[in-house]
Chains A and B, each alone.
Chain A
C-alpha cells in the first residue's frame, strides 16, 4: 500500500519533484528553469534542493557553460520511485472517499 511522503508533500518540494519526474531519467533541468517553473527564489529553491539531495531524491551538478556557472538538477531512481509512491497515495485518498 502506497504511503504519503512527508518530505515530498511540502508544496514547493512537491512542485520540484513533479517537474523533475516529468523529464526523462537522462535529462537534467537547469536551476533557472526550476526557479521559474516552481516560482521560487534562489535561496528558497536552493534550500529545498539540499533537503531533497540529502534524502537521495535528486542529484545536483554544478558546472560551467561558456565560463558562467550553471547548476543542473536531476531526479534519482529513488526519488522517482518515492514521488510515484506519493502520487499513488494521494490518488488512493481520492479514490477511497
Chain B
C-alpha cells in the first residue's frame, strides 16, 4: 500500500496520542512517590521549627500512601490488569506480601524498641528506603536502589552527627530525593 507523507505523519500522531493514556496510567504510581516526598520535605522541615509535633509527618505519609494505593489500584484494575499466572503477577503478589510483613515488623519495632521521635523517624525512613531498594531489585530499577541506599546513609549520618538539626537534614536528604526521583522517573517513561 502507498500512503502520502501527510498520511504517515497523521498516523504517527495518532499512535502518540493513543499511547499517552496507557503510559500515564502505568506510571501513575510515581505520583505517590512525589506526594510522599512533598509531605516528608514539608513536615520534617516544619518539625525542625515546631518540635512539639514531630511525628505527624509519618502518620500523614502512611495515610496518603494507603489512600493512594487504594485509589491507584482501583483505577488500574478497571483499565489494565496483570495477566493471571504470569511472572509479573507472581512478582506483584510477592511485593504485596513483602510490604505487609515489613509494615507489621515496623509496628512491632516501633512499640517494643523505640523511645524518641527521632528514633521513630529514622526507623520509618530506613524501612521505606529498604522497601524501595528491594522493589528496585525485583523490578530492575537501579534508580530506586541508588536512592534507597543514599537516603539511608545520609539520614543515618544526620541522626548521629547533627541530632540538633536532624529534622531539617532529613527534609533535605530524605524528602527532596523522593521528589527528584519521582520527577526523573516521570520524565523518563
Contacts and interface: CB of A to CB of B under 8 A. Distances in A.
Interface of A: 4, 6, 9, 11, 14-16, 18-19, 21-24, 26-30, 32-33, 37-38, 72, 74, 87, 90-91, 93-94, 97
A56 B89 CA distance: 24
14 contacts: A9-B11, A15-B14, A15-B18, A18-B14, A18-B19, A19-B18, A19-B22, A21-B19, A27-B88, A29-B22, A30-B81, A74-B83, A87-B15, A90-B8
B9 interface: yes
The B interface is mostly helix, strand or loop, or mixed, namely helix
B21 A37 contact: yes
B139 to A, nearest CB: 11
Contact of A6 (B1, B19, B22): B1
Contacts of A27: 80-83, 88
Nearest to A63: B84
Contacts of B9: 94
Contacts, number: 85
Given A28-B81, A30-B79, A37 B18 contact: yes
A33 B83 CA distance: 16
Interface in B72-87: 78-83, 86-87
B15 A4 contact: no
Contacts of B17: 15
Given A14-B15, A26-B89, A33-B80, 17 more contacts: A4-B3, A6-B1, A14-B14, A15-B17, A18-B14, A22-B26, A23-B26, A24-B88, A26-B86, A27-B82, A28-B82, A28-B83, A29-B80, A30-B80, A33-B78, A72-B81, A91-B12
Contacts of A37: 18, 21-22
